[in-house]
Amino acid sequence: MDFALNEQQLAFQDSARDFASSRLAPFAAEWDLEETFPLATIREAGDMGFLGLYTPESHGGLGLSRLDSAIVFEELATGCTSTAAYLTIHNMVSWMIASFGSATLAGEWVPRMVSGEVLGSYCLTEPGAGSDAASLKTRAEKKGEVYVLNGSKMFISGAGSTDVLVVMARTGGPGPKGVSAFVVPANAPGVQYGKKEKKMGWNSQPTRAITFDNVEIPAGNLLGEEGMGFAYAMKGLDGGRINIATCAVGTAQAALNAAQRYVQERQQFGQPLADFQTVQFRLADMLTELVAARQMVRLAAFKLDSGSSDASAYCAMAKRFATDLSFNVANNALQLFGGYGYLKDFPLERHVRDARVHQILEGTNEVMRMIIARQLLKD
Ligand code: FAD
Ligand code: 2MC
């Protein structure tokens, strides 16, 4: 067992760190304030390979392992949590189309997704089906050579600015076995977008509801087989949860870095804050828990890479642990900045707002506990 990163991993980490510090961090506050989806920068990320990190090489991706991808995503998140998180969703969508779509369907979309020419959204959640995703109601009726989609999705990241949607819809009876997954061009007639949601964080990416009103798509846009869509959606989310956990770790690292510098500069009671032992202990706990979270994320990624039967539970553990930790670290870092932490002149309040949603999306942390407990009680 070797805990050191190899040369290739260090090289990926360096290039992601450079991109984060030069192309993301300087603009993150402005994108947050102006609610800008930075399309030009996202396309630059494509030039770096960051839009198809674990997409197979046969489809133009880098074909990296989940572990290597996690190293990259973590660095990107230190620059801009929200933009890095969108990149992870795009990667998940591109991987799903490459993995479960026919050669023709994958050939049509995936290389363009990897280059950044087209961007993707993942559409599972509905107004009435959030945690209980298998109760979704959007229907896809097969009529000859087409499927006709009707229904609505809620909280779709990137929606309105993306080009391709992976949509989970019901082709059969109730429950998970009745769900199929489809590739839907985002501008297909009958696809309608709701208003851009006003959010607490994740402001550099739009979030919208989508309605499907008699949307016709070719039968060949079905991913894999009918009735397998829920399993494909969950497989996508296993990796997605590692990705969100890495964004959480990256955000925590950025917050800790800022706090570490600040407490050495800021003087009160005639000495730097860093000289107070309570401050030191707080920093020590932040770092200890951050390292634990990072190692758990990498272990989960390793389990997914090696096809371990308990990989899903480890992905859930990593997501639950890293996102809770990240929120606490960001909040503690804000506290160390005192009143300045509450001002938008400093990045701490943004880190807290961005970190918060990771405890909710890609499965709430209560759902993560459900997945972990099911595995535990099955063993
Ligand atoms: P609910 O399921 O209604 O849950 C409400 C509360 O009840 C939660 O605390 C939950 O944990 C708890 N709860 C529910 N069931 C149980 C239970 N059995 N035991 C204990 N507690 C329970 N979805 C997509 O498909 N694609 C996206 O791109 C996407 N992006 C998002 C972006 C943002 C900014 C947000 C906020 C959400 C996004 N989502 C997306 C949706 C997200 O995945 C859901 O919000 C999440 O899964 C929870 O669903 P819900 O909001 O309906 O909450
Ligand atoms: N990999 C492969 N198959 C899986 C799987 C996984 N990780 N998880 C479940 N399945 C299969 C499972 O094996 C079963 O099939 P079978 O009966 O053949 O064995 C089928 O799917 C149904 O699974 P469950 O019986 O576990 O389904 P249930 O409805 O009880 O619960 C639950 C599933 C709660 C885990 C799931 O609904 C869930 O993850 N809910 C949270 C929803 C969510 O994460 N939404 C995120 C939206 S995306 C987002 O937020 C973004 C920001 C992009």
For 4-49, what is each residue's pLDDT tens digit? 999 999 999 999 999 999 999 999 999 999 999 999 999 999 999 9
Same domain, 108 and 154: no
Is 311 within a domain? yes
What is the SS3 assignment for 260-329?
HHHHHHCEECCEEHHHCHHHHHHHHHHHHHHHHHHHHHHHHHHHHHCCCCCHHHHHHHHHHHHHHHHHHH
Specify whether the CB–CB gap between 163 and 185 falls below 8 A.
yes
Alpha helices by DSSP H, listed for 80-102, are: 81-100
Same domain, 242 and 348: yes
CATH of the domain at 215: 2.40.110.10
Q: Tally Cβ neighbours within 10 Å of residue 15.
A: 15
Same domain, 197 and 266: no
Specify whether the CB–CB gap between 322 and 297 falls below 8 A.
yes
Same domain, 362 and 340: yes
Q: How many domains does the chain have?
A: 3
Is 14 within a domain? yes
Q: Ligand 2 pocket test: which of 177, 208, 230 has the largest number of ligand atoms within 8 Å of its C-beta?
A: 230
pLDDT one-digit tens code per residue, 266-288: 999 999 999 999 999 999 999 99
Is 289 within a domain? yes
Same domain, 109 and 167: no
State the distance from the centre of ligand 1 to the C-alpha of 363, rounded, in angstroms. 6
pLDDT one-digit tens code per residue, 47-96: 999 999 999 999 999 999 999 999 999 999 999 999 999 999 999 999 99
Average pLDDT over residues 91-113: 98
Question: Where is the domain boundary, 115, 133, 156?
Answer: 115
Specify whether the CB–CB gap between 164 and 119 falls below 8 A.
yes
Same domain, 259 and 352: yes
Average pLDDT over residues 298-318: 98
Same domain, 303 and 369: yes
Same domain, 211 and 321: no
Q: What tokens appear for 223 in the block?
A: 């991913």
State the distance from the centre of ligand 2 to the C-alpha of 35, rounded, in angstroms. 31
Same domain, 240 and 336: yes
- What CA–CA distance (Å, rounded) separates 25 from 35? 15
- Domain extent, residue 246, equals 230-378
Residues in the chain: 379
Question: Where is the domain boundary, 115, 137, 156?
Answer: 115
Say if ligand 2 is within 6 A of residue 122 CB: yes
Nearest to residue 251, comparing CAs of 42, 36, 74, 13? 74
Ligand nearest, relative to CA of residue 247? 2
Say if ligand 1 is within 6 A of residue 237 CB: no
**Pairing status of strand 139-143 against strand 146-157:** antiparallel
Is 2 within a domain? no
State the distance from the centre of ligand 1 to the C-alpha of 366, rounded, in angstroms. 10
CATH of the domain at 284: 1.20.140.10
Say if ligand 1 is within 6 A of residue 134 CB: no
Same domain, 133 and 223: yes
H or E stretch at 247: helix 229-265
Is 1 within a domain? no
Q: Ligand 1 pocket test: which of 126, 204, 247, 361 has the largest number of ligand atoms within 8 Å of its C-beta?
A: 361
Is 267 within a domain? yes
Structure confidence at residue 379 (pLDDT): 65
Per-residue buried b or exposed e for 220-237, using 16+ beta carbons within 10 Å of the residue's own CB: ebbbbebbbbbbbbbbbb
H or E stretch at 141: strand 139-143
Structure-token match 């759902």, residue found = 367
Q: Ligand 1 pocket test: which of 131, 132, 354, 370 has the largest number of ligand atoms within 8 Å of its C-beta?
A: 131
Ligand nearest, relative to CA of residue 201? 1
Question: Where is the domain boundary, 97, 115, 133?
Answer: 115
Nearest to residue 69, comparing CAs of 86, 83, 49? 49
Q: What tokens appear for 173 in the block?
A: 């009876």
Is 367 within a domain? yes
Q: Whose CA is nearest to atom 22 of ligand 2?
A: 176
Same domain, 137 and 218: yes
112: confidence class by pLDDT, cuts 50, 70, 90: very high
Same domain, 111 and 137: no
CATH of the domain at 110: 1.10.540.10
Specify whether the CB–CB gap between 167 and 125 falls below 8 A.
no
Is 74 within a domain? yes
First vs last Cα of the chain: how many Å apart?
A: 25
